[in-house]
Amino acid sequence: MAKKNYTVIDLFAGCGGLSLGLYQAGWHGVFAIEKNPCAFETLKYNLIDKKNHFDWPKWLPKEPLDIQEVNKKYKTQLKNLRGSIDLVAGGPPCQGFSMAGKRVKDDVRNQLVFAYIDFIKMVRPKLILFENVKGFTYAFNKEKNPEAVPYSTVVVNQLEKMGYDVSPQVIDFSEYGVPQRRKRFILVGVQKSLKKKASGFVKLLQENRDDFLSDRGLKKDTTIFEAISDLLRANGTVPTPDRKNFLSGIYGEASSTYQDFMRQGIEGQNPQSHSFARHGEDKLACYKKLLSEYPVKGKRIDGKEREIWGIRQRGIYILDGQAVAPTITNMPDDYLHYQEPRIMTVRECARLQSFPDWYEFKSKYTTGGDQRKKEVPRYSQVGNAIPPLFAHQAGIVLKEMI
């Protein structure tokens, strides 16, 4: 019997965390939609060019694309895909819903939820994997408008109308071997004609987890130390090849199976995107003082306490090497390294997100001011991603459901 190709379209693909995990699970990409040129550059380099993960139809340009434009321009082609697509994966940008940032009711990005629903209406995949932040499940302005419903309810209702059995839940990725507490809204939809319950997704995920991790020498609870202790600045430095006047780290000895797993396939190289920030003397002194004197690790320092300790940014976590990381965001200044007086590098954040070291990040390292609305530099690409290690496990379960 011929081997089945499991076909997937990745919407709001970002730098490719979800696509990478599905690729590792044996899924076959048809195409991906990502509007931002910085994130698309990373996705293209790793999964389109290097891994040849996508077939990419001739009618669709291989470039950054806006889902609203695609829906409008390629209606006929999208409807022609009906019956051939097993899975549509991905969720709209989450910044407007995020509890970590400012929840913005009128953020234009929130409207992309409706573009997502329109896309599903046209393509009608067998399965849906929809991901978003936990804040997606809370209604805006509930105090002023008690009738307000969260966007998650809108999505569930629309998908059920289209004939999908739907199961929404909040999943903490740290329970699946990712060294980071990251709770996300995950919705699985299954065409009712498949006669499978969407609620079976989490049950299968939990049943498969221990075998999946032990087959790879991994465990459920991986600490920050176990994830990144081979990336210390103390190992030595070299000039950063793609960032003028900056220094990058080199590898130390791998001291955990997680590090061995992340370093597969990059023998003889230095870690990519492992460029250290250049801290001024004041900041360096502040960071040294925090590491040596602050009594608690792993807790966010903000408000009045921030001022007492001379912290000028809005807040900071001193990472605890013996615990899993807090949720990695797109703000590099949010985290102080557990041992060295510096913020984390892109590569260290990528490790905590479970990106393998061969996965290269492209475009600028950081950005600021108004450019934040337009640019998605490397730190943001990593902070916005779905951890590939979770996506890989989800991909295996979704294949079982077909």
How much is the pLDDT for 113? 85
- Higher pLDDT, residue 276 or 376: 276
- Return the exposure string of 264-289: e unless at least 16 CB atoms fall within 10 Å of the residue's CB, then b: eebeeebbbbbbbeeeeeebeebbee
- In the chain, the percentage of residues whose pLDDT exceeds 90 is 77
How much is the pLDDT for 146? 56
| Those residues with Cβ within 8 angstroms of residue 145's Cβ, 6 or more apart along the chain or in another chain | 139
- pTM exceeds 0.85 for this model: yes
How much is the pLDDT for 399? 96
Radius of gyration of the chain (CA): 21
| pLDDT at 203 exceeding the cut of 50 | yes
Res. 31 pLDDT band, cuts 50 70 90: very high
How much is the pLDDT for 144? 55
How much is the pLDDT for 246? 97
| pLDDT at 94 exceeding the cut of 60 | no
- In the residue annotation, 94 being an active-site residue is answered as yes
How much is the pLDDT for 109? 46
Cα separation of 57 and 116, whole Å?
20
316 backbone dihedrals φ, ψ, rounded to 5°: -155, 145
Res. 400 pLDDT band, cuts 50 70 90: very high
Res. 79 pLDDT band, cuts 50 70 90: very high
Task: Share the mean pLDDT of the chain.
Answer: 90
CA distance readout (Å), 210 to 180, 204, 401: 18, 11, 19
Res. 25 pLDDT band, cuts 50 70 90: very high
How much is the pLDDT for 139? 55
Res. 38 pLDDT band, cuts 50 70 90: very high
Closest CA to 350 of 317, 314, 316, 325: 325
